[in-house]
Structure 1
């Protein structure tokens, strides 16, 4: 079962995830940022149900679901940001859960067979859900079985380049809470503007490379200004090294190309687990002699963030804070 760490961190998974959770009052129909129609259909009963468009067609969901099972961490983050708690979660690994979510995450039963395992229908059934939310990119998902338990919404995977934003906003629409994220959205815009203004001098001096350790031996991932994290840092005024600019969104790169892709980076921003250590195979990448000889590494300009692959506004704000912290150290 892929997690957003694999889906957003592989060249093949450059597409992103749209998300929605439906556990509020009915809302009017809306078009999401990716153009996928979400929200209520005119013929649905506002008193009891809502009809939403999904990757499997239209699905009728409760107007006020009380027991939502989440099969991916994008809609999980959206529910948390909206002040909602699912009754069950897919387990993508505790080390990848951002600190603001961790206590809630730990308290919620997991419905997968171990970390990153398959969804177990029996575990889902035991939670008596009235709504199940997943994504259409999840292989071997027992959709038909899950649909017999509760309305099951699979979200489209390939139409959004900014999943953390699209998923959060579409979640709010489907919840009938279109203004619920207004304060978070404003905080994000204000924080990015603040960094651009207050760190203008240091922003003009440094070019950044963005990377993730990856999951495949001998390979790592390089991100560009059109990636999710690249867009967030660009909003704060970041300039990028030639290697990051060249890939635009993201690319899988071999260890042999470390020097050619990273040598002109003045600083490196990378993905960590929630204990601050390089995530995935990051330690192996960092141990490479070619990596150790990079100018940015020799200068000590390595800065990590658990929010490198943001799932919603809270993590986008965390990424901005981590970037600002790095700028203050330069």
Structure 2
């Protein structure tokens, strides 16, 4: 999870200036364009109330034109069998996270970069539900709710399980969500068994390191998405994770990267952005990195940032569990 910077918030607020045009666009065109049949309209009139971070919101029982503005919401929708009509992307280049099945994201309209969604593009899709969070788009709530009922969670990342339940409620998929959770719980238990059981898992200290272009190196703490997946398997965490700011991450320079491996049996690492600019290249080639106990034991594994860090959902978590089991059972 990447927290929005002050500059991102300014860009987000500036994006709201486009909302007048967006609303005008949504009102244009033939009154018959996309008009549902009388039976569809009757079914669409039925609503239910969802408790959100911005209060109670009435949404259709079976929304058909869903727009999601962050990766967790996209994962939730895909996991629950709903293909959104629109979604944002996370990087400078368009496109959705690579771990998602191609057929599940084919045809979804890209409505801009995650922190600065194109409101005109959103309006043009005539959504009947928008899913996002306050931490990402709280400044745009009034504009978004003018386009469609907007369901916001408070945050993203660490509370992903609770957020998933909110998404499921909004999408009218609470029964499906119950099965998803049951399947994931069973999956995590099988991974624990595969790596030697609960006692061995608890004695295996695992760190997750993220190299980020334009920022310090993150050693992830215990209050974030990937930490919850590690905890579900029952894995131990090194002492350095207790120093993480707000439980999220302990940030270091390449000169202090040894702190990531002093008492870690296994280290997973990912990179966001250009490897050189993210200091990944120089760090992985340094003596401090190569002399970490995990590195000497061949227990350092590079993983995809899109999956392990950006995904934030049950579809991502299931794939992470599979990769985790493969790495942790490697002799």
TM-score, normalised via structure 1 length: 0.73
Which of 47, 50, 73 is the matching residue for 1:49? Answer: 47
Match of 2:99 in 1: 99
Higher helix share: 2
Contact 1:207–1:239 (8 Å) recurs in 2: yes
Instruction: Pick closer, same or farther for the CA change 1:278–1:319 going to 2, 3 Å.
Output: farther
Once the two structures are TM-superposed, the CA of residue 246 in structure 1 deviates from its matched residue by: 4.3
> For residues 154 and 225 of structure 1, do their structure 2 counterparts lie closer, same or farther at Cα, with a shift above 3 Å needed?
closer
Shift of 1:120: 1.3
- Count residues in correspondence: 283
CA distance in 1, matches of 2:118, 2:253: 36
Residue 153 of structure 1 aligns with which residue? 151
Is it true that 1:326 corresponds to 2:323 in the alignment?
A: no
**Pairing of 1:287-326 with structure 2 (within 5 A):** 287-306=285-304, 307-309=307-309, 310-326=311-327
Question: Superposition pairs for residues 1-330 of structure 1, below 5 Å?
Answer: 5-7=1-3, 48-93=46-91, 97-112=97-112, 115-116=113-114, 118-138=116-136, 141-157=139-155, 161-163=158-160, 165-200=161-196, 203=201, 206-217=204-215, 219-247=216-244, 249-271=248-270, 281=278, 283-284=280-281, 285-306=283-304, 307-309=307-309, 310-330=311-331
Deviates more, 1:196-205 or 1:294-303: 196-205
- Pair 1:279–1:172, CA change in 2 (3 A): farther
Conserved in 1, the CA contact under 8 Å of 2:269 and 2:302?
yes
1:65 & 1:203 partners in 2: Cα distance?
Answer: 42
Determine the C-alpha separation between the residues in 2 that align with 1:98 and 1:144: 32
Distance in 2 of aligned mates of 1:315 and 1:266:
24
Deviation by residue 1:116-145 (Cα, 9 ceiling, x = unmatched) = 461112111211212222211125854333
Change (3 A) 1:142 1:240: closer
Gaps of 5+ in 1: 9-44
Q: Measure, in 1, the Cα distance between the counterparts of 2:318 and 2:126.
A: 34
Distance in 1 (alpha carbons) for counterparts of 2:155 and 2:231: 24
Check conservation: 1:121, 1:142, Cα contact below 8 A. no
Q: Which consecutive unaligned segments of at least 5 residues does structure 2 have? A: 5-42
2:19 matched residue in structure 1: none
Cα RMSD after superposing both structures: 3.3
Distance change in 2, residues 1:215/1:96 (3 Å): farther
d(CA) in 1 for partners of 2:275, 2:107: 26
1:328, distance to aligned residue in structure 2 (A) = 1.7
